[in-house]
């Protein structure tokens, strides 16, 4: 049962987090997800004990995570995955996975090495997108590069999870995954070829009514592909990610006004309700006690964060825009090394299957939290320093 305290505490933290982000952001622009995670830890059972894990909150958290990946899929710029940037982003991720598996084998040989390797090869696109959007970087070469890195850094680990961490052997999992990809590809092809005029008109007509057809279609597509992935014993997030891509294709020919209106409603549902619950609940369920019981593990959190920078960040520089300055390449490395949602998902799978110990999972999730706190902050500071320097140089030439 969801306690009365949790009914109030979770929404309270969801309101408090953006207030703190805005207030502290005047001096230090910290991503809002950091506040959601930290506040969740503070009110969780290992500190104040005001909020506890529950089946109801866990379900909402899972839906929030699915919605986060749906938004990430819908935000993908297909053009950034083609040509040089796409090829280099994929190459960088394959290199990251190989390095991650090697690091995982050193830390915990066996099946746990796969979980650690997948976790270390991930990039939190869903976390980076709001930061890029707020900074006006989504459509810049830098933003497109980070978007490609993040897209591959989320989609690649999802495939690896489905192939290596399912109940089937890798060969059978690959066949099932291929079936899912074919179904998703056919759905995307059908969406791209079928005239959507009637759909767009109905979406537009219900934008400001109780019908809200566009939002309902989004939830249907999300539920359908997530259910399909679960039925095929694949990770639910794979279906959520694919659903976002298909929805973007369906709305490609809608008027810009309607697209923006529907997107704003989806973002309101995602970032105003479901996604904050995921991050806050992640904080509530974070196993702080496992770290407290073995204080030396705290020292491994920044160490693993550095490993994340080496394993995922450095290979990401391959996809930096052509002719990038050293500062921009540094920013790309830092953004590529920012990981959390996949780390949370894959470590939860490992703990549930008793492959990964709660202590190691806590260290990995803690490193992911630290990467979200530090890397985007430093990356955007470095990036803006470069932009300001370029602006000064331009003014001097003029």
Pick out the chain residues at pLDDT < 50: 1-2, 391-398
The pLDDT assigned to 83 comes to 82
In 3D, which of 138, 22, 177, 127 has the Cα closest to residue 344? 127
The pLDDT assigned to 313 comes to 95
The pLDDT assigned to 210 comes to 86
Residues of the domain holding 14: 4-397
The total number of structural domains in the chain stands at 1
The pLDDT assigned to 312 comes to 96
Q: What is the pLDDT of residues 113-130, one digit of tens each?
A: 999 999 999 998 878 887
The pLDDT assigned to 386 comes to 55
Which CATH number do you get for residue 210?
Answer: 1.20.1530.20
The pLDDT assigned to 392 comes to 40
Q: What is the pLDDT of residues 139-167, one digit of tens each?
A: 889 998 999 999 899 889 988 888 877 66
3-state secondary structure of 137: coil
The pLDDT assigned to 105 comes to 92
């Amino acid at each position: 049962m969801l306690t009365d305290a949790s009914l109030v505490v979770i929404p309270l933290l969801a309101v408090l987090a953006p207030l703190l982000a805005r207030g502290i952001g005047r001096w230090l622009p910290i991503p809002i997800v950091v506040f959601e995670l930290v506040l969740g830890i503070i009110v969780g059972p290992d500190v104040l004990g005001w909020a506890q894990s529950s089946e109801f909150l866990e379900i909402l958290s899972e839906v929030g995570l699915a919605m986060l990946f749906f938004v990430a899929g819908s935000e993908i710029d297909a053009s950034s995955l083609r040509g040089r940037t796409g090829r280099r982003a994929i190459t960088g991720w394959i290199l990251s996975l190989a390095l991650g598996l090697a690091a995982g084998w050193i830390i915990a040989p066996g099946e746990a090495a796969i979980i650690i390797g997948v976790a270390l090869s991930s990039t939190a696109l869903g976390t980076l997108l709001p930061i890029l959007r707020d900074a006006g970087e989504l459509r810049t070469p830098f933003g497109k590069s980070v978007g490609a890195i993040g897209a591959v850094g989320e989609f690649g680990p999802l495939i690896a999870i489905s192939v290596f961490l399912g109940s089937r052997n890798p060969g059978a999992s690959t066949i099932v995954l291929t079936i899912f990809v074919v179904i998703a590809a056919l759905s995307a092809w059908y969406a791209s070829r079928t005239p959507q005029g009637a759909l767009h008109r109905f979406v537009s007509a219900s934008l400001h009514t109780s019908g809200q057809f566009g939002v309902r279609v989004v939830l249907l597509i999300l539920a359908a592909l997530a259910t399909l992935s679960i039925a095929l014993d694949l990770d639910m997030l794979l279906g959520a990610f694919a659903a976002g891509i298909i929805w973007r294709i369906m709305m490609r020919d809608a008027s810009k006004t309607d697209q923006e209106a529907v997107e704003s409603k989806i973002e309101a549902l995602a970032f105003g309700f479901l996604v904050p619950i995921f991050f806050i609940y992640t904080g509530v369920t974070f196993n702080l006690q496992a770290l407290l019981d073995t204080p030396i593990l705290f020292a491994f959190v920044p160490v693993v964060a550095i490993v994340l920078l080496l394993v995922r960040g450095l290979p990401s520089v391959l996809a930096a825009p052509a002719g990038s300055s050293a500062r921009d390449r540094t920013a790309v490395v830092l953004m590529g090394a920012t990981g959390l949602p996949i780390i949370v998902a894959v470590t939860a799978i490992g703990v549930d299957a008793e492959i990964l110990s709660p202590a190691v999972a806590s260290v990995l999730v803690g490193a992911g939290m630290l990467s979200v706190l530090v890397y985007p902050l430093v990356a955007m500071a470095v990036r803006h320093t470069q932009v300001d320097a370029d602006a000064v140089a331009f003014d001097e030439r003029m």
